[in-house]
Structure 1
Amino acid sequence: MQVFKEKEAARRWMFQQRCAVDAIGLVPTMGALHEGHLSLVRRSVRRCQATAASIFVNPTQFAPDEDLARYPRTLESDLEMLAGCGVDAVFVPDTEEMYSSGFSTYVQPPKVALRLEGKHRPDHFRGVTTVVAKLFHVLPCTHAFFGHKDYQQACVLEHMNRELDFGVDIEVCPTVRDADGLALSSRNRYLSGDQRSRALSLIRALRQAAERYQNGERSTAALERGMRAVLQAGGINRIDYATVVDADNLTSHSTVPEQPIALIAAHLGGTRLIDNLRLDTDSLATA
């Protein structure tokens, strides 16, 4: 496995691969890897003849009061895990390599970014679209793999990819969960034992919404009230949103849309967690 710190070296390697193989996958990450990330890597290795990953804690997607400084950085173990999964190359730039002095060019996120995370983290998706656009240029892949847990992010990147004609085949892979249902996240390591137990109220709230939907409930407000009640009873400190929206465009309607997805963002102490569940599939059996 090759490790590149400079953009030009990484780009040269990717162009060499593009000349040699039909499909080359990219798995962008911020490191602190867990089984959720590795599931994306394994999917790329199965799907593509070559796979690259990136590890970069992107400062432009963090607000000043967020956890950029303490975001977990575990590069050595990350590289070992990626090599074990069959990754061919990893791009590990520092901030100065990705954002030169005086950097001022950003990608305006699409409309689907405005609600939910866009409301609570106003500049977050501008940072996400900018860094992924840069990665698509530095690492010109044919396929890119993202996780369903960051559902709105995946929607934003799919829209950006389509509307700006990157031509990348984006695949959104299923959320990976612990045996008790907690969605895997690099930020889970912030949680104390008690907080981790309380964090399970997210999946309980989502499963309750799915069960009520599958039993015939079609009032968006009723499903949202039910989710909030479960979260509050479970000891969640603060709820940014617990909502049911259209899975395609993330718009909200008084009656549950035909393709409904429930999304939650909530705080436990200083840790912010997100999770989601499609309500119109066999989510109770798989989540």
Structure 2
Amino acid sequence: MMSFLQIFHRRGHRIVPRRFMSTSLPPSPIPIFTTVDSYREWRRSALDAKKTVGFVPTMGALHDGHLTLVRRSLAENDLTVLSIFVNPAQFAPHEDLATYPRTLPRDIELLFQQSYTVPTQTAENAPQIRKASTIFLPSVEEMYPSGISQTVADQKGTFVEVKGYGEQMEGKSRPTFFRGVATVVTKLFNAVEPTHAYFGQKDLQQAILLRRLASDLLLSHPTPRNLHIVPTVRDQSSGLALSSRNTYLSPAGQQVAPLLFSALTVAQEAWDLGINKAACIQRAVNIINQKKNEVQVQGLDVKLKLDYIQMNDANEFDELGAEETRNSRERPVILSGALYVDSTRLIDNIILGNASEIMY
């Protein structure tokens, strides 16, 4: 294996200048960049070599949902970059910024295990194996040169807001969330300059909003069409959507956490039968309430609190009318919800209608 100091895993690429290396980082077989300047030197080499760059932005604490995005990027791009940055601007003051899981050594190990074998045209050619090319690991100071406060009223500097698309669904419950997401992803796109970027369906509203951002800001790296949404990865036995925050769940919480997806599935089944939106959502709410009663009867030490279940247009995010049915909708619909299991907030969604209009 080539040295950690080498930018690419293949012959002929440049070496990371020593002035850009950090002595506080854990050992890694994958090059790590902690500054925009150092990363951009690497990116110029990729540009000169006419290599495509796939990008997977994360907040770390990697799980198979993240790794699925990595594997798709490896299959579709010459080079793959993964960023790890816990973004203060998308956490409200009362949320879990300080306790969000940070598992860098394990993240590096999991990332290095991912690979893709490029099909060869002839038997004489040795197979080419792609692995992650680099990790972009900026500090808060690097990403927010003007400083950052979790309180929006105290913030100074430049921020990005996608007007009219961040107030519904997740935005209704977390009013400043998408402002923070749009800001940090704009910064990451500017720094990384990806050919393609990959996001998970679990954060569907976020991904569609970012496509809108890429379109409105006339971004070329990536273009809106090259911002890809990949299906949610679920626990094979329970159906629970994988999330870094699942580690917060107690054993009792883990038992009931798949409830949200079960409730959304009931609503989906009703929608497919032609039942109107209001009745579909009520059926899902009934499932939640039934489970609450069962938890009490069984004496499980877990509290359930429904945040919302809603149906929204997949393009404009407008809420559907109470009487609307599948027969009145030409475009896909997002059926989404959020549920507190004790203090852990879980989100999930299902696309109703032609998912291929969104998932590409």
TM-score by length of 1: 0.94
Q: CA deviation at 1:281?
A: 5.7
Kept after mapping to 1: 8 A contact 2:81/2:136: yes
Deviations 1:52-81 (A, max 9, x none): 010000001000000000000000110111
**Equivalent residues in 2 for 1:271-282 (5 A)?**
271-280=344-353
Which amino acid in 2 is paired with 1:28?
Answer: P
The answer to whether residue 261 in structure 2 is matched with residue 203 in structure 1 is yes
Could you tell me which residue of structure 2 aligns to residue 25 of structure 1?
54
More deviation, 227-236/194-203: 227-236
- How many Å separate the matches in 2 of 1:25 and 1:50? 6
Which amino acid in 1 is paired with 2:61?
Answer: A
Deviations 1:119-149 (A, max 9, x none): 1111111110111000011111111000000
Aligned length: 281
Could you tell me which residue of structure 2 aligns to residue 153 of structure 1?
206
**Equivalent residues in 2 for 1:47-66 (5 A)?**
47-66=76-95
Could you tell me which residue of structure 2 aligns to residue 94 of structure 1?
139
Deviations 1:137-181 (A, max 9, x none): 111111100000001111111100111011211000000000120
- How many Å separate the matches in 2 of 1:143 and 1:110? 24
Question: Equivalent pairs: percent with the same residue?
Answer: 43
Unaligned runs of 5+ residues in structure 1 are: 283-287
Could you tell me which residue of structure 2 aligns to residue 285 of structure 1?
none
The answer to whether residue 244 in structure 2 is matched with residue 186 in structure 1 is yes
Q: CA deviation at 1:110?
A: 3.6
For the residue of structure 2 that corresponds to 1:119, the secondary structure is helix
- How many Å separate the matches in 1 of 2:146 and 2:268? 48
Q: CA deviation at 1:216?
A: 2.2
Kept after mapping to 2: 8 A contact 1:52/1:88: yes
Kept after mapping to 2: 8 A contact 1:15/1:140: no
- How many Å separate the matches in 2 of 1:131 and 1:253? 30
- Out of 104, 108, 113, the residue aligned to residue 166 of structure 2 is 113
Kept after mapping to 2: 8 A contact 1:112/1:155: no
- How many Å separate the matches in 2 of 1:66 and 1:232? 26
- How many Å separate the matches in 2 of 1:161 and 1:101? 24
- Out of 271, 287, 292, the residue aligned to residue 230 of structure 1 is 287
- How many Å separate the matches in 2 of 1:243 and 1:170? 25
Q: CA deviation at 1:279?
A: 2.5
Higher RCO (C-alpha 8 Å, min separation 6): 1
- How many Å separate the matches in 2 of 1:238 and 1:11? 45
Q: CA deviation at 1:261?
A: 2.1
- How many Å separate the matches in 2 of 1:161 and 1:110? 14
Kept after mapping to 1: 8 A contact 2:271/2:277: no
Kept after mapping to 1: 8 A contact 2:146/2:157: no
Could you tell me which residue of structure 2 aligns to residue 243 of structure 1?
310
Q: CA deviation at 1:51?
A: 0.6
The answer to whether residue 68 in structure 2 is matched with residue 39 in structure 1 is yes
- How many Å separate the matches in 2 of 1:281 and 1:211? 15
Kept after mapping to 2: 8 A contact 1:223/1:244: no
Rg bigger for which structure? 2
Which amino acid in 2 is paired with 1:57?
Answer: V
Q: CA deviation at 1:228?
A: 1.2
For the residue of structure 2 that corresponds to 1:111, the secondary structure is coil
- How many Å separate the matches in 1 of 2:110 and 2:73? 15
Q: CA deviation at 1:182?
A: 0.3
Kept after mapping to 1: 8 A contact 2:51/2:79: no
Q: CA deviation at 1:252?
A: 1.5
Q: 1:110 to 1:14 in 2, by over 3 A?
A: farther
- How many Å separate the matches in 2 of 1:281 and 1:199? 28
- How many Å separate the matches in 2 of 1:186 and 1:4? 23
Q: Which 4+ stretches in 1 moved above 3 angstroms?
A: none
Root-mean-square deviation (CA, aligned residues, Å) is 1.5
Which amino acid in 1 is paired with 2:88?
Answer: P
TM-score by length of 2: 0.75
Kept after mapping to 2: 8 A contact 1:209/1:279: no
- How many Å separate the matches in 2 of 1:111 and 1:50? 35
- How many Å separate the matches in 1 of 2:352 and 2:333? 6
